[in-house]
């Protein structure tokens, strides 16, 4: 029986990108449906009644919400190809820890950088750079966070690369200058087809954020 | 014979530490509790084992540290597979993780607002808190436990937070049983389990602790 896989998404969402990358890594065909977040579809509201958010992965009619949970699900269902996790429980716990670290703060701090000015923005910028440096430390000299293989932490973090240009432009700083190794990692990941096909154009993301700020009355 | 060394860096009233204790008890794993003095001075071991957050709980298994309670419970489940805490079916596992995540994002913070706030803010906090419990009641449905017939992952993530609920009720001026009888029944069911009853702190001591926190926050 053929699997029916649908992804409800919004193209600039870093969370949606995680699922797109995961599906691509496993070679899974799926139907992509773009949501209008100002006019959410009945399907989205039915599939994610608790949070009413994208992304939602729908597998044979059953919804999986929250991007990291969906990535783990994809890894467990299509387990014969490109595992995202190491097999050792301690290494798996480390992978979960770092993905959770990214999840806790990256988006909200980033959002503060592109929606505020002055002292608030400077503080957020400082916190963001600190976060990126911590991640760079964890990466060390490895090709990927998991070692030689692209895996869970890489999937959790690489979508934020699509926001780097936006952050640098709004925050007036260079992530490459602050974290050269992390940029090296990001470019390495972006060479993977699963990533380059899943991440939008960086300038388009910037234009989107500018438009969104206008729409929300943020000058 | 196992020569595992399992140490838990702990703080007696932390519901997050309780999650690890219950999970270890469910698996029958012996461990050493090392109480941290979070207000007086964190130990070198804690600062070294959790440099990123410097928080409890930290589980050290043969010297290797793991942080973040939900991640620790996952690790315990994978390392000592019997009895399983997560279901085997990937969809049910995703569901369990979803509810654990919901609980993590919402319950402690909302509960905290009920005992930290005054006046109108308190009314808003109470309403929000009870709405969250109602959503959890929906997830529970007619089941005995969140996963079905057996006590499992989501129950372990949720039940420790309830050790603070007496305080929420006292200071928030409401009774959970009146608004969320099914959730209340689930709480009582879990509290009958030895692994839970043995580790949950004395509710009066928790109340004393929350009262002192209120003073610290300038609410008392």
Based on the fold, state whether residues A14 and A102 are members of the same structural domain: no
Summarised one tens digit per residue, pLDDT across range B34-74 is 999 998 899 999 999 999 999 999 999 999 999 999 999 99
CATH number where A63 lies: 3.40.30.10
Query: Which positions in chain A touch B71 (Cβ < 8 Å)?
Result: 93, 96-97, 100
- Name the packing angle between helices A14-25 and A67-77 (round to 10°): 10
Contact by Cβ (8 Å): A55, A9: yes
**What DSSP state is assigned to residue A162?**
G
Helix (H) or strand (E) holding A61: none
Based on the fold, state whether residues A40 and A111 are members of the same structural domain: no
Based on the fold, state whether residues A184 and A105 are members of the same structural domain: yes
Q: At CB < 8 Å, which residues of chain A contact B?
A: 50, 59, 62, 64-66, 69-70, 72-73, 76-77, 89-90, 92-93, 96-97, 100-101, 134
Based on the fold, state whether residues A197 and A103 are members of the same structural domain: yes
Would you state the pLDDT for residue B201?
95
The minimum CA-CA distance between B206 and chain A, rounded to whole Å, is 28
- Alpha-carbon span B131 to B103, nearest angstrom: 12
Based on the fold, state whether residues A48 and A96 are members of the same structural domain: no
Residue A174: give the domain boundaries.
89-215
Query: Which positions in chain A touch B91 (Cβ < 8 Å)?
Result: 59, 62, 64, 73
Summarised one tens digit per residue, pLDDT across range A150-159 is 999 999 999 9
Would you state the pLDDT for residue A166?
98
Summarised one tens digit per residue, pLDDT across range A47-72 is 999 999 999 999 999 999 999 999 99
- Is A153 within the bounds of a domain? yes
Would you state the pLDDT for residue A86?
96
Summarised one tens digit per residue, pLDDT across range B203-220 is 999 999 999 999 988 887
Burial-class residue A193 by CB neighbours within 10 Å (0-12, 13-18, 19+): exposed
CB-CB under 8 Å, B74 with A97: no
Record the pTM: 0.96
Based on the fold, state whether residues A144 and A38 are members of the same structural domain: no
CB-CB under 8 Å, A76 with B90: yes
Would you state the pLDDT for residue B1?
44
Would you state the pLDDT for residue B3?
77
Query: Which positions in chain B touch A100 (Cβ < 8 Å)?
Result: 68, 71
Would you state the pLDDT for residue A1?
59
Q: What residue ranges define each of the domains in chain B, with the CATH number in brackets?
A: 6-79 (3.40.30.10), 90-216 (1.20.1050.10)
ipTM of the predicted structure? 0.96
The minimum CA-CA distance between B67 and chain A, rounded to whole Å, is 7
- Is A84 within the bounds of a domain? no
- How many structural domains is chain A composed of? 2
- Alpha-carbon span B15 to B12, nearest angstrom: 8
Based on the fold, state whether residues A130 and A150 are members of the same structural domain: yes
Based on the fold, state whether residues A169 and A125 are members of the same structural domain: yes
């Amino acid at each position: 029986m053929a699997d029916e896989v649908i992804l409800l998404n919004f193209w600039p969402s870093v969370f949606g990108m995680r699922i797109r990358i995961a599906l691509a890594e496993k070679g899974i065909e799926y139907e992509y449906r773009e949501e209008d977040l100002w006019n959410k579809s009945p399907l989205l509201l039915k599939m994610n009644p608790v949070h009413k958010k994208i992304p939602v992965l729908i597998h044979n009619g059953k919804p999986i919400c929250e991007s990291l949970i969906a990535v783990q699900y994809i890894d467990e269902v299509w387990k014969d190809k490109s595992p995202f996790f190491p097999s050792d429980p301690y290494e798996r716990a480390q992978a979960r820890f770092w993905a959770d670290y990214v999840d806790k703060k990256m988006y909200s701090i980033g959002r503060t950088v592109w929606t505020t000015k002055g002292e608030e923005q400077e503080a957020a910028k400082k916190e963001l750079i600190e976060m990126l440096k911590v991640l760079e430390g964890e990466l060390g000299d490895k090709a990927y966070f998991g070692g030689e293989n692209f895996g869970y932490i890489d999937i959790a973090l690489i979508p934020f690369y699509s926001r780097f240009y936006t952050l640098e432009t709004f925050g007036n700083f260079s992530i490459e200058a602050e974290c050269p190794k992390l940029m090296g990692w990001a470019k390495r990941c972006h060479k993977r087809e699963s990533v380059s096909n899943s991440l939008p154009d960086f300038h388009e993301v910037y234009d989107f954020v500018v438009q969104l700020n206008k729409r929300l009355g943020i000058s | 014979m196992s020569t595992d060394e399992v140490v838990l860096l702990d703080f007696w009233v932390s519901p997050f530490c309780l999650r690890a204790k219950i999970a270890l008890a469910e698996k029958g794993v012996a461990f050493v509790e090392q109480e941290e003095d979070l207000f007086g001075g964190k130990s070198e071991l804690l600062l070294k084992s959790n440099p990123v957050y410097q928080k409890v709980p930290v589980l050290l298994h043969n010297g290797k540290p793991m942080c973040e309670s939900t991640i620790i419970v996952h690790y315990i489940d994978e390392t000592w597979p019997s009895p399983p805490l997560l279901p085997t079916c990937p969809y049910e596992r995703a569901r369990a993780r979803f509810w654990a995540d919901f609980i993590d994002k919402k319950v402690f913070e909302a509960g905290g607002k009920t005992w930290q706030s005054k006046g109108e803010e308190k009314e808003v906090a109470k309403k929000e808190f009870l709405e969250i419990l109602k959503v959890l009641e929906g997830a529970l449905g007619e089941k005995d436990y969140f996963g079905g017939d057996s006590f499992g992952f989501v129950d372990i993530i949720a039940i420790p937070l309830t050790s603070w609920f007496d305080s929420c009720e006292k200071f928030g001026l409401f009774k959970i049983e009146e608004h969320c009888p099914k959730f209340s029944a689930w709480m009582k069911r879990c509290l009958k389990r030895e692994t839970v009853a043995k580790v949950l702190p004395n509710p009066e001591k928790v109340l004393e602790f929350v009262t002192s926190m209120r003073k610290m926050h300038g609410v008392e």
